[in-house]
Amino acid sequence: MSTSLHELTGAAERHADPMPLNGIDHIELWVGNAAQSAYYFTHVFGFEEVAYAGLETGLRERASHVLEQGRVRLVVTGALSSDSPVAEHHRRHGDGVKVIALSVPDAAAAYRHAVEAGARGLGEPRTLSEDAGSVVVADIAAYGDTIHRFVERGDYAGAFLPGYDAVGGAHPRAHAGEGMLVGIDHVVGNVELGRMQEWVGYYERVFGMRELIHFSDEAISTEYSALMSKVVADGHGRIKFPINEPAEGRRKSQIDEYLEFYEGPGAQHIALATRDIVATVEELTRRGVRFLRTPDAYYEEVPDRVGEIAESLEDLRRLGILVDRDDEGYLLQIFTKPLGDRPTIFFEIIERHGARGFGAGNFKALFEAIEREQAARGNL
Ligand code: FE2
């Protein structure tokens, strides 16, 4: 059933919400080398390191760097010993998202509601305390080995969580990166063939989310590439989780490739919002970020497909930025190449001008443009 964000907001106001969500608190990646990942995200992507936990703070099995930019908070965590769960996770999955943490007003109530609604509990509510105050956290299972952590901050005034030291100057933000990225737009999960609907149901039951299908294409396919995607969102539209599953194509789909190399379901990409995608992509490219290339043929169809936009088509073509339109406006987006060695987790950079979709129309246009170029080379 299709539901607009306006209807959802109205519904949330009419009924007491059993699972109020403030937004995404942070996303934690478990990686092979957290020190170098932190350096990459700060010096290349413009994040600032604000907190740290590791040997120096009394931890023996992991090191975590907390990185912020705009309202985006990422944590990168690496193992300090071979028997750390972080090492085990990395051995199986490579670098990937372990925790998608949600800010809630009452973590114990959120956990109780989630487990009653069928979520698998992984960590009972527990209170972490230090001089700066207390934070209550609780964990439930999501797709694959990914977890959702409820975080109740109350009036906690520390750098990140109790146990972390505030950091100033370890990885200072590179000057030109000021304000490139402003927030997390959405986080996409890849699940196995035939299990998308089950996970949509999980987000509906456990979080009271609703499916958004006001963007049209549910099946994004060409002759060669196919995937199925549905989007669930909370009532305020602050949290948007598209869920993909592979669909039968003539060749292995990008979702199949992810599932093979991640060795199971997991977070496929984190979409980071910017207010100036041309300047941001220009700067990130200059710093060495490798984006997916878009064939020139894609831009031939753009004026007819999306009509008038504020940005110069030449800028978009030069940088490889994609553009899509829905009933409510347009959006600009671009995807990085995988962040690590495996063809798994990547970032999307997105700038919205009214559009609330996810660029579904883009995929078909992009795949078809690639196929036109393939055909021109006699390889299709
Ligand atoms: Fe996306």
Note the pLDDT tens digit of each residue in 243-271. Answer: 999 877 766 778 888 999 999 999 999 99
| pLDDT-derived band at 294, boundaries 50, 70, 90 | confident
Same-domain pairing of 195 and 326: yes
Question: Is residue 224 predicted with pLDDT exceeding 70?
Answer: no
More confident residue, 300 or 168: 300
> What is the mean pLDDT of the segment spanning 231-243?
93
Cα(363) to ligand 1 centroid in Å equals: 11
Cα(80) to ligand 1 centroid in Å equals: 33
Cα(289) to ligand 1 centroid in Å equals: 18
Of 149, 175, 201, the position where a domain reaches its end is 175
List b or e across 142-157, with b for residues whose CB sees 16 or more CB atoms inside 10 angstroms. bbbbbbbbbbbbeebe
Question: Is residue 213 predicted with pLDDT exceeding 60?
Answer: yes
More confident residue, 6 or 142: 142
| pLDDT-derived band at 174, boundaries 50, 70, 90 | very low
Same-domain pairing of 145 and 79: yes
CA distance 203 to 21: 12
Cβ neighbours, 10 Å, residue 371: 18
Cα(251) to ligand 1 centroid in Å equals: 22
Cα(121) to ligand 1 centroid in Å equals: 28
> What is the mean pLDDT of the segment spanning 28-41?
98
In a domain, 3, yes or no: no
CA angle 133, 101, 357 (to 5 degrees): 135
What string of DSSP letters covers 311-367? S-HHHHHHHT-EEEEETTEEEEEEEBPPSSSSS--EEEEEEEEB--S--HHHHHHHH
In a domain, 21, yes or no: yes
Same-domain pairing of 97 and 226: no
Cα(169) to ligand 1 centroid in Å equals: 32
Structural domain range at position 125: 17-175
Cα(302) to ligand 1 centroid in Å equals: 19
Of 145, 175, 205, the position where a domain reaches its end is 175
CATH code of the domain in which 276 resides: 3.10.180.10
The structure tokens 């299908």 sit at: 213
Cα(5) to ligand 1 centroid in Å equals: 18
Per-chain residues with Cβ under 5 A from ion ligand 1 = 271, 348
Cα(269) to ligand 1 centroid in Å equals: 7
Same-domain pairing of 319 and 241: yes
Cα(348) to ligand 1 centroid in Å equals: 6
**What's the total number of domains in the chain?**
2
Note the pLDDT tens digit of each residue in 318-360. Answer: 999 999 998 899 999 999 999 999 999 999 999 999 998 888 7
> What is the mean pLDDT of the segment spanning 271-282?
97
In a domain, 1, yes or no: no
What string of DSSP letters covers 68-82? EETTEEEEEEEESST
Note the pLDDT tens digit of each residue in 279-292. Answer: 999 999 999 999 98
Cα(242) to ligand 1 centroid in Å equals: 8
Cα(108) to ligand 1 centroid in Å equals: 31
Same-domain pairing of 333 and 250: yes
Cα(322) to ligand 1 centroid in Å equals: 12
Cα(258) to ligand 1 centroid in Å equals: 15
Cα(188) to ligand 1 centroid in Å equals: 6
CA distance 30 to 86: 6
CA distance 227 to 283: 31
Residue 222: its pLDDT value, please? 60
Same-domain pairing of 199 and 296: yes
Cα(214) to ligand 1 centroid in Å equals: 15
Note the pLDDT tens digit of each residue in 108-153. Answer: 999 999 999 999 999 999 999 999 999 999 999 999 999 999 999 9
- Mean pLDDT value across the chain: 89
Cα(358) to ligand 1 centroid in Å equals: 6
Cα(229) to ligand 1 centroid in Å equals: 11
Cα(294) to ligand 1 centroid in Å equals: 16
